[in-house]
Amino acid sequence: MKANLGRAASGALIFAGCLLTLAGCNNGNSSQSTPSGPTPPPGCGTATANSRVYVTAGTLTSSSSPTNNPNAIFIFTQSSILNSTGSISPCAQVAGPSFTSAFGLALDSSANMYITDQASNTVQVYGASTNGSSASPQRTISSTNLSAPFGIALDTAGNIYVSAQGTGTSSNPNGAIFVFPANSSGAVNPTRVIAGSKTGLDQPAGLAISGSTLYVTNEASSNVETFNLTANGNVAPLRTISGTNSGLNTPIGVSVRSGFIYVSNHGTASSSPGSITAYNATGTSSLPVRTITSASSSGLFGPAGLALDASSRLWVGEAGPPGTSNNPTGTLAVYPAGANGSVAPTTSVTGVGYSTWAVALF
């Protein structure tokens, strides 16, 4: 999704994924965060792992008008989600004038929050204890040709991987993956850029890192690609998951755990609904080994953000049905490990902003 355009019926894009994102999964990263760093905002538990869930979502622009662009980070304790139904309130909310379209979200090992903002074409970093509606980033990263950034993921060295859906230059007409050094700040040149005709990138959205492999969802061409984590330039992917039988349909979020690749498929219209598909992380098959469908019992509502916890439960942010301007329910659903078919979530809560996109766990 390009900034300020909302969710188009054609699928022109917003994840993240846990991440990213966004994303715990650090917007897709399969490594669980370790307890360290600053204390979280008051009421959000302690600085321990497996305790919080972060999402990016829209807020009310007026007393009755929601925005589908994610302009806030909502933080919940995981226990409040798992032990609740219906509408709940976050323990903290991060918003401010610096971002209005945060489609990607990742967390480092200290629970500092990294977001991509399409409105300003930047990556912004907020401290773990940040809370309030007038938050200022600790760092802002910008770069020439970084256009419409979407997904974000961090490797174990802290390097920052960003998917950019904008054209930027003629060398990356369909998007690119930028890699920035850890602790980058200000105007920064990327250390590497994956882009070009050989890459197959086509509006790259969600990013995930597992071991030495980078996983990318391509929203426009409805496929998933893998690259060596050190890839640079116009290089072909190691593997592409694609085709009619893959079940992929406007994929956004991606996460990897316990030998499986999980993908949230946002869908393109009410007649082509969303789903969650899972694939073997090894081999070359494009056939899903499990599919959670959007039948009435599963309640999937335009899935976007996706993260897996240490128990392999799926945390899914629902961004609303394709072709509509927003998701008035702002839903976050949790599915049991190994869920397959038309399976109801173990819990589903509303009040999680509007058009819930990226999901990350800590």
The C-alpha atoms of residue 209 and residue 17 are separated, in whole angstroms, by: 12
Say what the pLDDT of residue 174 is: 86
Q: Look up residue 255 and give its two tokens.
A: 């996460």
The C-alpha atoms of residue 134 and residue 147 are separated, in whole angstroms, by: 25
32 band by pLDDT with thresholds 50, 70 and 90: very low
Please say if the pLDDT value at position 187 is more than 50: yes
Domains of the chain: 18-361 (2.130.10.10)
Mean pLDDT, rounded, of the chain: 83
Please say if the pLDDT value at position 7 is more than 60: no
154 band by pLDDT with thresholds 50, 70 and 90: very high
Mean pLDDT of 168-186: 84
Say what the pLDDT of residue 22 is: 40
Helices (H), the chain: 78-82
Contacts of residue 63, defined as CB under 8 A and 6 or more positions apart, other chains included, come to none
Whether the CB-CB separation of 350 and 325 falls below 8 Å is answered with no
Say what the pLDDT of residue 300 is: 78
Please say if the pLDDT value at position 4 is more than 60: no
Tell me whether residue 224 is exposed, middle or buried, using C-beta atoms within 10 angstroms of its C-beta: 0 to 12, 13 to 18, 19 or more: buried
Q: Which of 281, 254, 256 is nearest to 265 (CA)?
A: 254
Say what the pLDDT of residue 172 is: 62
The C-alpha atoms of residue 267 and residue 8 are separated, in whole angstroms, by: 11
Dmax (CA) of the chain:
51
DSSP states of 295-353: STTT---SEEEEEE-TT--EEEEE---TTSS--TT-EEEEE-TT--BS---SEEEE-S-
pLDDT in tens, 215-254: 999 999 999 999 999 999 999 999 999 999 999 999 999 9
16 band by pLDDT with thresholds 50, 70 and 90: very low
Range in 74-88, 170-184, 259-273, 324-338 the model is least confident about: 324-338
Please say if the pLDDT value at position 11 is more than 70: no
Q: Look up residue 263 and give its two tokens.
A: 């993908």
Mean pLDDT of 114-142: 95
Say what the pLDDT of residue 143 is: 95
The C-alpha atoms of residue 294 and residue 233 are separated, in whole angstroms, by: 38
The C-alpha atoms of residue 264 and residue 200 are separated, in whole angstroms, by: 20
Say what the pLDDT of residue 245 is: 97
Say what the pLDDT of residue 67 is: 63
Whether the CB-CB separation of 99 and 120 falls below 8 Å is answered with yes
